[in-house]
Amino acid sequence: MIQFKGCKSNGACTIVLRGANTHILEEAERSIHDALCVLTQTVQKNVFIYGGGNAEVFCAHRVNELANREMGKKALAIEG
């Protein structure tokens, strides 16, 4: 999890990484880099394409809606 706290708008901040070993620190650094790249592109272009499992979540939501409209074994099969 990456959490930013107390950052004032239009200000600079320092990010301090702590971890049990270098592998965890390297992963954290890559995650922060990815998040900052996404943020930069979103601010610059102000458009984006949904990703990160969006299609799967959308489909799961629709399947759940269908299961809620059905009854009995058919609803259980759809949920499964």
C-beta of residue 31 within 8 angstroms of C-beta of residue 19: no
pTM above 0.75, yes or no: no
Task: Please give the pLDDT value at position 46.
Answer: 77
Task: Please give the pLDDT value at position 67.
Answer: 94
Tens-level pLDDT at each residue, the chain (80 residues): 556 666 667 667 778 888 899 999 999 999 989 988 888 888 888 776 777 788 888 899 999 999 999 999 999 999 88
Phi, psi of 31 (to 5 degrees): -65, -45
Task: Please give the pLDDT value at position 40.
Answer: 85
C-beta of residue 17 within 8 angstroms of C-beta of residue 28: yes
3-state DSSP assignment of residue 30: helix
Task: Please give the pLDDT value at position 76.
Answer: 92
Task: Give the whole-angstrom CA distance, residue 52 versus residue 63.
Answer: 19
